[in-house]
């Protein structure tokens, strides 16, 4: 790390010459990319709109506060719908996430080569499509309404819950599982008594978080 360079005396530099140059070049390249991208954005920006932002914020604020409580009568039903969507969507996601998590964890999957990539692909596909996009697609499929919302939330949550769950499964203590197999427990028994108790805290946390 510290390089001594001899003329007549030794000089300490933090990095060697080549690395210092590479670092400088990376900074230059990165700054060039940033400036280029910002140029692209500002070409499409109408700067007059940007400079009058404080007035817009004031306008929005004056209309926003105080909130009109008369609207609340219209809002109770949709609020209840929202709570239902969240609960049922999360339940659906958890029910589906548990088997997929077991298939995706490298220590409990039946086949590392065939089954695990499929399970991982399901997780990635579910996570990469944002909730809003899922919702738009599902409204086109099943029509507008609460049902589309439940499925959209569920599909998105599958990816989230499964990812955290399978990471929790991979982190379990193998000695407990080994103790169970030593007492001649069958597969499902090992699962229920060996693995599930260890991931229960993580599972509870994930469900509430989601």
136 binds another protein (CB under 8 A): yes
Judge contact between 3 and 15, C-beta under 8 A. yes
Q: Residue 209 and residue 200: Cα distance in Å, rounded?
A: 14
Detail the DSSP E strand segments found in the chain. Answer: 3-6, 10-13
List, in sequence order, every residue forming a beta bridge with 158; answer none if it has no partner. none
Q: Residue 72 has which token pair?
A: 């609340």
With respect to another protein, which residue has the nearer C-beta, 56 or 186? Answer: 56
**Contact call for residue 33 and another protein (CB under 8 A):** yes
- Contacting another protein (CB under 8 A), which of 9, 62, 73, 128? 128
- By CB under 8 A, tell whether 44 contacts another protein: yes
The reply on whether position 32 binds another protein by CB under 8 A is: no
Q: Which residue in the block uniquely carries the two structure tokens 């670092």? A: 23
Q: What is the C-alpha to C-alpha distance for residues 194 and 185, in angstroms, rounded to an integer?
A: 10
134 vs 166 by CB, closer to another protein: 134
- Tell me whether residue 140 or residue 200 sits nearer to another protein (CB atom): 140
Binding site for another protein (CB under 8 A): 30, 33-34, 37-38, 40-42, 44-46, 49-50, 53, 56-57, 60, 128, 130, 132-133, 136, 140
């Amino acid at each position: 790390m510290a390089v001594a360079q001899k003329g007549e005396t030794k000089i300490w530099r933090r990095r060697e010459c080549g690395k210092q140059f590479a670092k400088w070049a990376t900074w230059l390249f990165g700054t060039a990319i940033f400036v280029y991208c910002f140029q692209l954005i500002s070409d499409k920006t109408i700067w007059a709109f940007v400079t009058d932002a404080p007035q817009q914020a004031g306008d929005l604020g004056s209309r926003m506060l105080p909130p009109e409580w008369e609207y609340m009568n219209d809002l109770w039903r949709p609020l209840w719908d929202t709570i239902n969507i969240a609960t049922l969507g999360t339940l659906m996601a958890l029910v589906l996430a548990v088997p997929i998590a077991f298939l995706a964890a490298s220590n409990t999957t039946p086949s590392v080569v065939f089954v695990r990539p499929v399970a991982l692909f399901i997780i990635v596909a579910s996570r990469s499509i944002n909730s809003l996009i899922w919702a738009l697609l599902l409204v086109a499929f099943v029509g507008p309404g609460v049902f589309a919302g439940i499925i959209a939330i569920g599909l998105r949550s599958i990816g989230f819950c499964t990812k955290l769950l399978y990471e929790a499964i991979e982190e379990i203590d193998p000695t407990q599982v080994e103790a169970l197999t030593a007492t001649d427990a069958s597969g499902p028994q090992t699962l229920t008594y060996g693995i599930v108790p260890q991931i229960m805290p993580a599972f509870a946390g994930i469900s509430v978080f989601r």
